[in-house]
Amino acid sequence: MKRRKHIVQEIINLTPETFILRLDRQDFQFEPGQYVVIRIPDIKKGREYSIFSATTDDYLDFLIREIPAGEFSRYLRHLTPGAELDVDGPKGYFILNEKTKQGHPTILIATGTGISPFYSYMKSYPNLNYRVIHGVRYANEAYGREDFNPEKYILCTSRSKEGNYFGRITKYLEENPVDPDTICYLCGNSEMIEEVTTVLEKYGLLPENIRTEVFF
């Protein structure tokens, strides 16, 4: 694992709150699902961000929600092309296991920007036997939706009826049982992860088949 300097290529605004930070890749190697710590040079402060782009892309993308009172995400959003950032990584073990890579039925469950590692999985491994369940407030937060196979993708919207299901992920899962032989990956806020884990355990999934990455 190394610390290195990367250059901002672009800030791509997706919604009033969310953007993609695109950095040059150089020869940075990672496995889909890993994250890095991005630091502002000369300041010790840094934050973790999952890699959104695929292993086949020649850039590094991060899908970031700007937190109004949060100092770091706000700083990143206002960077301009050419700015330099320190990147530590890759880090983390939220990578696909061999069974999933070989086609075992898998469900990817995310809230908000927690879709980031799943987008990288899907782009990097086009033949996965997956379903995605993405929970957002409004449909414009369905980041990357157009690139997922629509037959494998369920958008749960909690504040409008523009998704495939109106309500929270937990409610969707309570109404739509999961086969106990499924491998599930959960990413996003800790409340969703706790609630969904409880539902999945009730369906008989083994703890080792419930893999989690908590953003906050």
Q: Which of 25, 39, 47, 101 binds ligand FAD (CB under 6 A)?
A: 47
Nearer to ligand FAD, 73 or 124 (CB): 73
Residue 211 interacts with ligand FAD (CB under 6 A): yes or no: no
Nearer to ligand FAD among residue 113 and residue 157 (C-beta): 113
Closest to ligand FAD by CB, 71 vs 201, is 71
Residue from the set 10, 48, 86, 88 that interacts with ligand FAD by CB under 6 A = 48
| 216 makes contact with ligand FAD (CB under 6 A) | yes
Indicate whether 165 belongs to the interface with ligand FAD (CB under 6 A): no
Tell me: does residue 64 bind ligand FAD (CB under 6 A): yes
- Please pick, from the candidates 23, 32, 33, 35, the single residue that binds ligand FAD as defined by CB under 6 A: 35
Per CB under 6 A, 116 contacts ligand FAD: yes
Site of tokens 């409880």: 198
Q: How far is the CB of 177 from ligand FAD (least distance, A)?
A: 29
Q: How far is the CB of 102 from ligand FAD (least distance, A)?
A: 26
- Exactly one of 73, 106, 120, 124 binds ligand FAD (CB under 6 A); that residue is 73
3-state SS track over the chain: CEEEEEEEEEEEECCCCEEEEEEECCCCCCCCCCEEEEECCCCCCEEEEECCCCCCCCEEEEEEECCCCCHHHHHHHCCCCCCEEEEEEEECCCCCCHHHHCCCCEEEEEEHHHHHHHHHHHHHCCCCCEEEEEEECCHHHCCCHHHCCHHHEEEEECCCCCCCEECCHHHHHHHCCCCCCCEEEEEECHHHHHHHHHHHHHCCCCHHHEEEEECC
∠ CA 125-174-137, rounded to 5°: 70
Residues that bind ligand FAD (CB under 6 A): 35, 47-50, 62-65, 67, 70-74, 112-113, 116, 213, 215-216
